[in-house]
Amino acid sequence: MDYSQFLNMGQELSLLAVILILFVADLFMCTDRKSGKGVLNTPLPVILLTVHTLLGLAPLVCPCCVADATAFGGMYVSSNMAIVVKTILSIGTIIVFLTAHEWLKQPEMANKQGEYYTLTLFTLLGMYFMVSAGHFLMFFIGLELASVPMTALIAYSKRSQESAEAAAKYILTALFSSGLMLYGISLLYGTTGTLYFEQMAPQISATNLVQLAALVLFIGGIGFKISLVPFHLWTADAYQGAPTAVTSYLSVISKGAAAFVLFVVLYKVFAPIIDQANLLFFWIIIFSITLANIFAVRQKNIKRFMAFSAISQAGYLVLGVMGATPQGMTAIVYYLLVYMVANLGVFLIISITEQRSGKLLISDYNGFYRTNPKLSFLMTLALFSLAGIPPFAGFFSKFFMFMAAFKAGFVVLVLIALVNTVISLYYYLLIVKAMYINPSDEPIPTFKSDGYTKLGLVLCTLGVVLIGIISWFYSYIDQFSFGL
């Protein structure tokens, strides 16, 4: 056996090293467990993860490293695009850790902080493997590694009934959908005799009904992870019940990884029956965007509101999958980056407001501008980016997404998505209106945010403002999109 192949999976190994360091550090640094004083807090995980992110970029910067490397006989495939996606995911996780600081600082959380970081990073590791999978076994293990610790994270507030309920709903639907997907994979195995993505594609034909059934089951399983409409029922409950720092992780990171994998599998495995897949996605996207928009308008809880916003954004994200073109690939990764900074920015503000005042209803934000002008300004920027108002990044990401789908020939779909952008503008502006215009007798009192939240907000706001204007980001991602 050639052990040097392990070096091809450098990012996974360094993430595993980060997890082990944090695990051991949790044992030894948290000496004062009895009195509940956790020493291990945000700095160590954030610094380690930043180092890991920078190290992971090495193959992109230095040309001496092999780009398209494989390990385990082709089960693990590393491409430049996968490295970019993993980097985006780990930057998102850093911002989520910054969000979680205030919440984990509470006395009752102090003695279980370490578990939060370990569990979160294990789900991230699962997504890494999923993104780089070249074989259905690797894909399935990655998917489960990403969703099983996620349940523990959702149920993290042990005394809260909402948290437990959200976790139960999440794990039952997750198991059901992964069971159906496993059945689909078994049908694929039975008809093709292999589980490698590359070898499977030539043996798939549109006339084989078993393979079409497998395609439907597969889309059902992955659609659950991305929370597309017929499979979205867990989303709102899980988002509302989970602790806010976990919700922000759930809404961006796990969704983005799954969307990328969906594209890779459609492109590599289901290429011969891509027309049938497109027909399915045509309706899935229309229902995701429209239904989620309608439901979002009538929400009162801001986390639940963000859940429906996330379902609708997932619909846009999957728009790039249509046709499986290289341009669609670039659009997905770029959309993921832009959506990540905007959504995490909103969640940073929701989280710090919840920690300081305990308020989570949209009506609680009435008069927020009078007491906290800076925060409401930043929140407005992030919401504008989510809605897609120029010159913020959200406009450009939506533009590239529509361009990709338009060039692939889905004109009607782009039109429906455009109409829905207007509806989404309405409900994002409802929050802006609550903050700036609606009067309130008891606005949320003025509070100071801590340093970590400020750092996270600076990163997110820079992203929202700059990623769209600086075209380097798009062209940098674009140069990798052809080889996948």
Q: Enumerate binding residues for other proteins (CB under 8 A).
A: 136-137, 140-141, 144, 148, 151-152, 155, 158, 161-162, 164-169, 171-172, 174-176, 178-180, 182-183, 185-187, 189-190, 193-195, 236-237, 240-241
CB 330 within 8 A of CB 478: yes
Q: C-beta of 172: minimal distance to other proteins in Å?
A: 6
State in angstroms the smallest separation of the CB of 147 from other proteins.
8
Report helix, strand or coil for 407: helix
- Name the DSSP class of 377: H
Task: Work out how close the CB of 220 gets to other proteins at its nearest, in angstroms, rounded to a whole number.
Answer: 12
End-to-end CA distance of the chain: 27
Quote the least distance from Cβ 167 to other proteins, whole Å.
5
Identify whether the C-beta of residue 102 lies closer than 8 Å to the C-beta of residue 351: yes
- The rounded distance, in Å, linking the Cα atoms of 97 and 351 is 12
Residue 4 burial (CB < 10 Å; 0-12/13-18/19+)?
exposed
Distances (CA, A) of 250 to 244, 258, 466: 10, 11, 25
For residue 238, the minimal CB distance to other proteins (Å) is 9
Considering only CA atoms, which of 256, 313, 295 is closest in space to residue 128? 256
What is the nearest approach in angstroms of other proteins to the Cβ of residue 259? 22
Name residue 361's beta-bridge partners: 301
Q: Which of 177, 319, 342, 333 is nearest to 251 (CA)?
A: 342
Tokens of 187: 């049908």
Rounded CA separation 439/434 (Å): 8
Nearer to other proteins (CB atom), residue 21 or residue 210 = 210
- In the complex with other proteins, the residue whose CB is nearer, 115 or 165, is 165
Cα 476 to Cα 99: distance, rounded to the nearest angstrom: 28
- Which is closer to other proteins, CB of 161 or CB of 207? 161
183 versus 447: smaller Cβ distance to other proteins? 183
258/274 with CB nearer other proteins: 258
From the CB of 184, what's the least distance to other proteins, in Å? Answer: 8
CA–CA dist 103, 327 (Å, integer) = 40
Pairing of strands 69-71, 76-78: antiparallel
Task: Pick between residue 92 and residue 221 the one whose CB is nearest to other proteins.
Answer: 221
Distance of closest approach, residue 140 Cβ to other proteins, in angstroms: 7
Give whichever of 236 and 321 is closer to other proteins, judged by the CB atom.
Answer: 236
Exposed / middle / buried, residue 292 (Cβ in 10 Å: 0-12, 13-18, 19+): buried
- Closest CB to other proteins among 140 and 197? 140
Q: How far is the CB of 357 from other proteins (least distance, A)?
A: 21
CB contact at 8 A, 75 and 242: no
Between 308 and 339, name the residue whose CB sits nearer to other proteins. 308
Q: What whole-number distance in Å separates Cα of residue 341 and Cα of residue 96?
A: 11
